[in-house]
Structure formats: structure tokens, C-alpha cells
Amino acid sequence: MFEFFIGKKYHKTKKSLSFINVINKISVVGIAIGVATLIVVLSVFNGFREISTTLMTEGEPHLTVQTANDSEDISKYLKKSEFVDLFYKFEEGKVLFGNEEHFEIMNLILIEDSIFRSKQLIYNKLSEYDTIFYGGNLAISFYSAIEMNLQVRDFVQITSFESLENSALTFSIPDITTLQIRNIYFSRNASLFKNYIFASSNLASEIFPDRNRNTQSIAVFLINLENANEFKNQLSAKFPDANIKTWNDNHAQILNVMKIEAFFAYLLLSLIIAVAAFNILTSLTMSVQIKKKDIAILRSLGVTRKGIRNIFLFEGLLNGIKGTSWGFLLGLAIYFVQKYFQVYKLDSSKYILDAMPVSISFWDLPAIVLMSVFLSFISSYYPAKKASLTNIIESIKWE
Amino acid sequence: MSVLIKASQLVKEFKSANKSIKVLKNIDLTINKNDRIIIYGASGAGKSTLLNILSSLDFPDSGKVEFEEIDIFSKTDDEISAFRNQNIGFVFQFHHLLPEFTALENVAIPMMINGISYKNAMKKAEKMLHKVNLSDRFSHKPAELSGGEQQRVAIARALINSPKILFADEPTGNLDSENSKIIQDLLLDLHNKLDLTVVIVTHNSELEKIGNRIIKMEDGNIFEIS
């Protein structure tokens, strides 16, 4: 393709006006800085988003399924599925929880007894603080234990809100269940850490005696939480009457905010590339001006207007591609240095991380490269088009 | 003799703010295959304008140019470009080589424009440079060549696509007498070897000797002298 051959030669050769060379270099450096900045900033956004997602979902089911009639069939299906790591039936409700000295309002999750006893919940989903686990009774968070001065083997009382409401209406004494703390768990998920306690579902009829149990809830943990939506679709197709929610649905707002934030960062930082690419327009316009005679000669040799346009498009695009390549390598280098050598540290006494998190999303890289090349193309197009309109006779006479 | 180019009633006018100059006044000209036409005349007589129109570089205000019985100005811009590339060779007074490219690349470019691969174009360009006695100048850029050598590269470039006609506008106008003689002999030699039709615009009376038809141009009109 002769257009590329000529465009590449023009790109490589130093221009007779050193001013143009300087502008060319500024555009390449500017694009490189823009691309590198985009890669680094977006990888930091991704890093923080991954950490936030981990924190948000720690101990929380990846899917919750509510069903009236299909619970056994769904359980069988979940057991066979290759996506599923763990699932259990559960019940939940608000309770008043405490001892003689302190009372707190908590969400009580009653987990299928076999799961609760086998420690799978604790082992898989939460960081176990206390290794003593006898099964049967109650697991509370480390945070609650400190707040309420509780420890393993202490006895606590639990009263459901439903029982409190009932007693208020009937002027009777509420049902109080006494349980022994058998486990204290640690979680980085703030809401789980502060507001949740866990017990076996064997206690369901005792704590929530008057509850209608027509609908059953199933918590599902997947091997990879990113598959939640895909698995939800699969499950919905199979069990259309079931009400299924993913962790994405539960945190949709905050996840959307993070996505919008990253998108606007992408747009704003693309402005750096746009400004740098504008220099391509300037230098290429001057290059076209000083090459008018060459253009006329090429036209006299049979190059079409489109061919002339392509030659200068290639010249401009090669500047853009050069800057993009350097920026790409620089951005990746900074990313890998931070990922593996953690150059930018965070104060671990203040934050749960000891270094700034970085993560590259697969689609970010082509999006950045395409944006950079697109902006270079736009900047090259006007001067290239102008070049194609050169008058042969007038330019050949210009000697 | 078969007709290669037939120009009829060519008119070209240049307009400025307050006056217009008619450079070509209803010119009729027939160029036969294998002709060696020399056009001479004073500066501003319209020689170059006529050459530019005959070679499709410029458009007449009225009249038409038929190349092998096809009106070239009825073609689209892209078709005219392809037509120029395949049928017409140019040699200008100032060699007009592309300064960034070597002699070999300059000669190869018209072939590449015609869709020939870089490798094949370079091979043919080597042969062409050999024909104009520049085998030792392949990798030299135009600035590293003498005026005569530059013009020989320009001739090689003009002939690489085996055009049917070569237009030369003052090909020796920028050369000393020794180099003018070399170019003159080369043009005659190539005409004989390649069966080429040649149209030369010149001030050089020596060049008139190689023509089989001599045309004088004066005030926008042509007169066939011999």
C-alpha cells in the first residue's frame, strides 16, 4: 500500500522546519502521558472497586432465592450446578439481643442446622476469630462482643420483634430464648460485622413461633461471584416463580455510582489525549503546507485525492500510535510496579489495605487504545483532507 | 499514422481582479503515435498551459482533449488520476523528485501507485535506473545527485509505467550544456527504443533538432513550422 509507504517515510523524516519536529514530539509525549495516566487511574478505580465489592459481599450470599413451592427442586438443582460453592436454607428477622447489662437490635439469621454445625459458613465466608466452635447455639461478631463485653460461653437472651409486637397487643410476656455464644466471627463487611448474629434453624420455631413459613429463602454462594447474573438468568429460566436477587441487585446503586465515576474519569482524562492530539493537527497542517509541491508531484504521478488524504492520515496516525504505544507500556509498567512492589503505600493503621490497590480490567485497555487512536485520527483528518484539495498546477509552479 | 491525442478548440483564460488573459485561443492539435513534437515560444505564450491541459493536469475552459478517441475530461477525478498514472509520463524543468526518497524509491513510486508490490516496483526501478545510466545511484537521495542525474532519475520515473506519451516541460532548462546534451540524447534514445511519443516544451534550440514536428506558440495560438 503506497499510501502507508509514503506516510511512514514522511513520519520518520525530520521536517525542514524544526518547529514542526518540536510540536510533533510534544504531541507524542502528550498522548503517551494521557494514555499512561488513563491506564493507571482506571486500574486504581478498578482496584478500589474490587476491594469494595469484596468488602460488600463478604459473608453475604451471592444470590438469595425466595420460593413458595420449589424449594426442594431448587435445592436439587443447586446441588448439581457447577457454579455453586455452597447453599443453605435460612430465615431472618429482627431481634432484641443482649444480657442483663446491654441490649441491641440485631438481624438474626437462622441457618440450616447441618451447615451451621459443619462450620461451612464460618470457614467459607467469614474470617473466623475464635476457633472454638461447638455448634448448636449462637455466633456473634467480634464487634458486638467488644461493644457488649461478651465472650464465648456467655449466655444471652433473644426476643423477636414479632414476639414483642404480640406481647404489646395481648399484654403478655414476650417469648425470650436464652442461647450460649459459641463463636465469635470477624468480618470486614461493615453491615454484617455490626448488625448480624447467626444461629441454627433448629431454633426457628422457638424464636419466631408464630411465623407463616409458606415461603422459603435459600442463600447461594458461587465459586465465582462474577457469575451471579448469568446464574440468576439460568435459575430464573428453570424456576420462573422463584424470586431471585443477586449481590449486584442488592448493591446496584453503589455499583452504578462506581461505574459512572470511572466512566467520567475516563472521559476527563481522555481530554489530555485530545489536547495532545490537537498538536498533531497543528504539526500536520504545517507539514501539508510545506509539502504542497510533493502533493502536486504525487497527484501528477496519478495519486488520487483519496490517496493523498490517506498518506497524511497515516503520517498523523503514526504519531498517535507512537504516543499510544509508549503510553501503553509506561502505564502497564507503573501498574505492575505498584501491583508487585507496592511502591505507593497506605497507612495500614488507618486503612484495611497497606498499599494502593490496582487492577486492570480486560476491556479498559482496548477502550483506552481505541480512544487515543480515534482522537489522533480525528486530529489528522482535517489537514489530510486539506492536503487532498491541493491544486496541482499552482503547487508545481511554487519553486 | 494513428492519432494518439486530438485536442479541439482549447480555450484557457486566467482571470485576476481587474483583467483576464486568454492564454489558449481555440487551439486544435493532433498528436500521432510515435511523434516527437517540439513546442517553442516566448515566455507567457501558453506553452506550459497547453502541455498541462494535454496531459490532464489542468482543465480547459472550453474545448476537449481526446486520448485514443476518449474524452479525458469526461472521466471522474479518480479515473483521470489512474489514466495519468498508466498512460502519461512527465518531466518537469525542476526535476520535482520527492526529497525524502532515494532515487530508486522515486522511480518505483508510480508503479506502487499502480498497485504493483514494493518488491516488484523496486526491481523494475533498478532496471529503469540502469537504462538511464544511474546504476550506482540507487540509494542516493535527490539532494545527493547532480542536476543532470536528478533529471535522469525524473525521466526514469516518468517512464517506469511504460506510458504511451512523455511530456517534458523545459527538461534542460535548468542544466548546463553538457548535461543538456546528455538529456537530449537520452530522450531520443528512449524514443527510439521504447516507441514512445514525446512532446517537449523548450527554449533550447538544440532540442528542436530531435523533433519530427516543430510547433511555435505565440500569443495563445500555435503554428506548425515543420
pLDDT in tens, A22-48: 888 899 999 999 999 999 999 999 998
Tell whether A39 and A139 lie within a shared domain: no
In a domain? residue A340: yes
d(CA A258, CA B185): 78
Q: Within 13 A of A315's CA, how many CA atoms are on the CB side?
A: 34
Tell whether A218 and A322 lie within a shared domain: no
Could you say which of A222, A246, A271 is where a domain stops? A222
Question: What predicted TM-score, i.e. pTM, was given to this entire model?
Answer: 0.77
More confident residue, B149 or A113: B149
Predicted confidence at residue A121, as pLDDT, reads: 57
Could you say which of A206, A222, A238 is where a domain stops? A222
Residues from chain A contacting residue B94 (CB–CB below 8 Å): 399
A299 touches B at CB < 8 Å: yes
In a domain? residue A181: yes
Give the chain A residue nearest B52 (alpha carbons).
A393
Which of B192, B10, B86, B145 has its CA nearest to residue A301? B86
* Residue A357 backbone zone (phi > 0: left; psi -120 to 50: alpha; other: beta): beta
Could you say which of A176, A199, A222 is where a domain stops? A222
Tell whether A203 and A141 lie within a shared domain: yes
Residue A132 has pLDDT above 70, yes or no: no
Cβ pair A54, A194 in contact under 8 A: no
| Residue A125 burial by Cβ neighbours in a 10 Å radius (0-12, 13-18, 19+) | buried
Which of A91, A74, A59 has its CA nearest to residue A201? A91
Which of A182, A183, A111, A185 has its CA nearest to residue A142? A185
- Can you spell out the DSSP letters for A189-237? -HHHHHHEEEEEGGGHHHHSTT---SSEEEEEEESSGGGHHHHHHHHHH
Predicted confidence at residue A131, as pLDDT, reads: 40
Query: Would you give the end-to-end CA distance of chain A in angstroms?
Result: 29
| Torsion angle of C-alpha atoms A266, A269, A275, A280, degrees rounded to 10 | -60
Please tell me the total count of domains within chain A.
2
Test B90 with A300 for CB contact under 8 angstroms. yes
Residue A153 pLDDT grade (very low, low, confident, very high; cuts 50, 70, 90): confident
Residues from chain A contacting residue B101 (CB–CB below 8 Å): 9
d(CA B39, CA B224): 9
Q: Nearest by CB to B57, which of A13, A298, A392?
A: A392
Which of B9, B46, B98 has its CA nearest to residue B216? B46
**A246-298 confidence digits (pLDDT tens):** 988 888 888 889 889 888 988 998 898 899 888 899 989 998 988 899 999 99
User: Which domain range does residue A333 map to?
Assistant: 2-55+255-396
Tell whether A262 and A310 lie within a shared domain: yes
Which residues are bridge partners to B91 per DSSP?
A: B168
In a domain? residue A281: yes
Return the residue in A9, A300, A308 with the most chain B beta carbons within 10 A, the one to mutate for interface testing: A300
Tell whether A279 and A347 lie within a shared domain: yes
In a domain? residue A75: no
Which of A293, A270, A287, A251 has its CA nearest to residue A373? A270
Query: Would you give the end-to-end CA distance of chain B in angstroms?
Result: 17
Which residues are bridge partners to A218 per DSSP?
A: A65, A89
Mean pLDDT of A6-16: 81
What is chain A's mean pLDDT, rounded? 86
Number of other residues whose CB lies within 10 A of the CB of residue A298: 26
Q: For residue A200, which phi and psi values (nearest 5 degrees)?
A: -75, 150
In a domain? residue A64: no
Tell whether A89 and A200 lie within a shared domain: yes
Residue A124 has pLDDT above 50, yes or no: no
Tell whether A50 and A124 lie within a shared domain: no
**A83-107 confidence digits (pLDDT tens):** 998 898 999 999 999 888 888 999 9
d(CA A231, CA A178): 39
Tell whether A92 and A147 lie within a shared domain: yes
Percentage of chain B modeled with pLDDT above 90: 48
Residues from chain A contacting residue B99 (CB–CB below 8 Å): 294
d(CA B217, CA B225): 10
Residue A388: which residues within 8 A CB-CB, separation 6 or more?
A305, A306, A308, A309, A312
Cβ pair A81, A218 in contact under 8 A: no
Q: For residue A207, which phi and psi values (nearest 5 degrees)?
A: -85, -40
Give the distance, in angstroms, between the CA of residue A169 and the centroid of all CA atoms in the same chain. Answer: 48
- Can you spell out the DSSP letters for B21-61? EEEEEEEEEEEETT-EEEEEE-TTSSHHHHHHHHTTSS--S
Return the residue in B50, B92, B109 with the most chain A beta carbons within 10 A, the one to mutate for interface testing: B109
**A210-252 confidence digits (pLDDT tens):** 888 788 899 998 988 889 999 999 999 999 999 999 988 888 8
**A301-334 confidence digits (pLDDT tens):** 999 999 999 999 999 999 999 999 999 999 999 9
Tell whether A32 and A158 lie within a shared domain: no
Cβ pair A137, A182 in contact under 8 A: yes
What is the mean pLDDT for each group of 10 consecutive residues in chain B (226 residues)? 88 84 89 90 86 91 91 92 93 85 95 94 93 88 90 90 90 80 82 86 79 88 81
Return the residue in B81, B164, B167 with the most chain A beta carbons within 10 A, the one to mutate for interface testing: B81
Q: Chains A and B: how many Cβ contacts under 8 Å?
A: 63
Strands A155-160 and A177-186: antiparallel
Which residue bears the cell 462450620?
Answer: A119
Tell whether A198 and A266 lie within a shared domain: no
Percentage of chain A modeled with pLDDT above 70: 92
Residue A384 pLDDT grade (very low, low, confident, very high; cuts 50, 70, 90): very high
d(CA A322, CA B22): 51
d(CA A170, CA A163): 10
Tell whether A265 and A371 lie within a shared domain: yes
**B40-96 confidence digits (pLDDT tens):** 888 888 888 999 999 999 999 999 999 998 999 999 999 999 999 999 998 887 778
Tell whether A259 and A321 lie within a shared domain: yes
Residue A128 pLDDT grade (very low, low, confident, very high; cuts 50, 70, 90): very low
Residue A122 has pLDDT above 70, yes or no: no
In a domain? residue A328: yes
Test A305 with B113 for CB contact under 8 angstroms. no
Which cell numbers in the block locate residue B88?
502519461
Predicted confidence at residue A135, as pLDDT, reads: 45
In a domain? residue A60: no
Q: Nearest by CB to B58, which of A297, A305, A393?
A: A393
B141 touches A at CB < 8 Å: no
B57 touches A at CB < 8 Å: yes
In a domain? residue A263: yes
Test B85 with A307 for CB contact under 8 angstroms. no
Residues from chain A contacting residue B98 (CB–CB below 8 Å): 294, 297-298
Residues from chain B contacting residue A392 (CB–CB below 8 Å): 57-58
* Alpha-carbon distance A303 to nearest alpha carbon in chain B (angstroms): 6
